[in-house]
Chain A
Amino acid sequence: MRAVCWEGKKDVRVQTVPDPKILNRRDAIVRITSTAICGSDLHLYNGRIPTMEAGDILGHEFMGEVVETGSGVTNLQKGDRIVVPFDIACGDCLPCSKEFYSACDNSNPNAAIPIEMQGYAGAAAFGYTKMYGHYAGGQAEYVRVPFADFGPIKVPNGLDDEQVLFLSDIFPTGYMAAENANIEPGDTVAVWGCGPVGQFAIRSAFMLGAGRVIGIDRHVKRLRLAEQGGAETLNYETTKDVVEALKDLTAGRGPERCIDAVGMEAHGTSLYGKVERAKQALMLQLDNDTALRQAIQACGKGGTVSVVGVYAGFMDKFPYGIMFGKGLTLKGGQCNTQKYMRPLLERIEKGEINPPDIITHRAKLEEAPAMYDKFEREKDDCVKVVLTP
């Protein structure tokens, strides 16, 4: 089969590789019909996350048709259309019993690596590093899905791929960001990052009762998409001070809820932001906390900061004193995707949201290297790329 393989920093190639096969009884093999490039893939593309190996197959946002099942899979059969959650969970362990699927005890065969590096192991993910399980990803013609009897959901007739593909990751992630923000009716919510996850966070915030949502980014296309989703917007490249601007927009209170949908590769145009990027470039630190720091500084007293932007390591000079003084709640984490897929599918079926609105580029799998470059360099108003094998 053909598959998109990571070959090094800023080097992805579509290669011919062996087809996947059933390895465990709870596996399924899926013929992929649609797959997307995620912002998290760019962390790998940019060489920021350790333990990738040349030849690893990328991709964790995908869906398709079941072609084979292991003996332990009785809820799926050949021909079923399914969407697969990006994080792999068994459904049986203690974290899974509490819907904390991103912390599954049993899906990572390489758990010893994250335990050694950071003291714990969470769930594995498709198409990511050895530390995260080293599972072959779904930017390919076929993929092996472990615990297929638990994670994937069937797609009802009448919904095309683009309407449901983002249930694999970014829609549940944006929704969880809004849910974790503890939004109360009428709250003002600020969202750092109007990329795909931020777009779904904005829309989800309104679903959960926000009165105002303010989207923060620098790309005009992303800001316009945010406005299409009902948000007011701030362009941080033309705003002298984002924190002061948010205070002014809320007459001194600050937004009650702040969502960081940016993560470790924040840009930041302030002197602080430039210093943080220099430290990243010199490998003095892994995470750039510009967006998170602004969120903490801007958030209203007693408010909540919700973090779904990906962070990988440690931060320098984290403003915990401000958090403590304002009595903020900080909540973050990888998405417990399986918890949200069915409820959000219902919202799609009811017409409450139209996920394809955020797609800006469609291409064939063979064009993946060019699409990665375009996505990473934010060329051609690229916001979200969907590939078809």
Chain B
Amino acid sequence: MNTVILATRISVSQHMNTGPRGTAQFHEDGDTVRRSVTIRRPLVEVEQQWSVSGIPGKATFAQAAGDRGVELRVEASADEQKSAKELFGSYASDNPGESLSAALRQLKSRLETGEAPTTLGQPSGRESANG
């Protein structure tokens, strides 16, 4: 089922260097997922890491307002996103939107911090219970 959401026209102040943006649109249907993330790294670095990330989908890049980093938006078919699950293992779900979100979060973390957060391999009382 197609779901089209139209936002009201956004008027932008003259002194913002992005200029007027026009009507905002967000389009997502059952076959397509669209997710985004803001990454606090230079644009060239984000573009380069995206190109080797292996995350399926079509990406667009923009500078976030207020010097907040790079806005990376990805649109992909649901089928494409199921393969994203294999990129990062057990935390992914079968929901294609969630898989894409998780993949983008990992990309962001690696770019901003040099690593992806993990607790895999940490101790717990479950190992104690299982001997």
Say if A and B assemble together: yes
Interface residues of B in 55-83 (CB under 8 A from A): 68-69
Which A residues are CB-close (under 8 A) to B113? 26, 90, 92-93, 106, 147
Q: A92-B112, A94-B69, A112-B91 in contact; A136/B101 too (CB < 8 A)? A: no
Check B14 for interface membership: any CB of A closer than 8 A: no
Most A Cβ at <10 Å: residue of B69, B113, B114, B118: B113
Q: A106-B113, A106-B117, A136-B119 in contact; A92/B40 too (CB < 8 A)? A: yes
Interface residues of A in 1-46 (CB under 8 A from B): 1, 3, 5-7, 13, 15-21, 23-26
Check B116 for interface membership: any CB of A closer than 8 A: yes
Task: Report the interface size for chain B: residues with CB under 8 A from the other chain.
Answer: 30
Chain B residue nearest to A91 in the complex (CB): B113
Most B Cβ at <10 Å: residue of A24, A106, A108, A111: A106
> When the two chains form their complex, are residues A53 and B126 in contact, meaning their CB atoms are under 8 A apart?
yes
Q: A94-B68, A97-B40 in contact; A107/B125 too (CB < 8 A)? A: no
Q: List 9 A-B contacts (CB under 8 A).
A: A17-B124, A24-B116, A54-B129, A72-B115, A93-B108, A105-B109, A105-B112, A109-B116, A135-B122
Most A Cβ at <10 Å: residue of B91, B109, B116: B109
CB 8 Å contact bits of A116-135 with B (1 = contact, 0 = none): 10000000100000000111
> When the two chains form their complex, are residues A136 and B114 in contact, meaning their CB atoms are under 8 A apart?
no
Check B30 for interface membership: any CB of A closer than 8 A: no
CB 8 Å contact bits of A303-335 with B (1 = contact, 0 = none): 000000000000000000000000000000000
Which A residues are CB-close (under 8 A) to B69? 94
> When the two chains form their complex, are residues A136 and B115 in contact, meaning their CB atoms are under 8 A apart?
no
Interface residues of B (CB under 8 A from A): 38, 40, 68-69, 91, 93, 98, 101-102, 105, 108-109, 112-129
Q: How large is the interface on A (under 10, 10 to 19, 20 to 34, 35 or more residues)?
A: 35 or more
Which A residues are CB-close (under 8 A) to B116? 24, 109
Interface residues of A (CB under 8 A from B): 1, 3, 5-7, 13, 15-21, 23-26, 53-57, 72, 90, 92-94, 97, 105-112, 115-116, 124, 133-136, 144, 146-147
Q: A92-B112, A97-B40 in contact; A112/B102 too (CB < 8 A)? A: yes
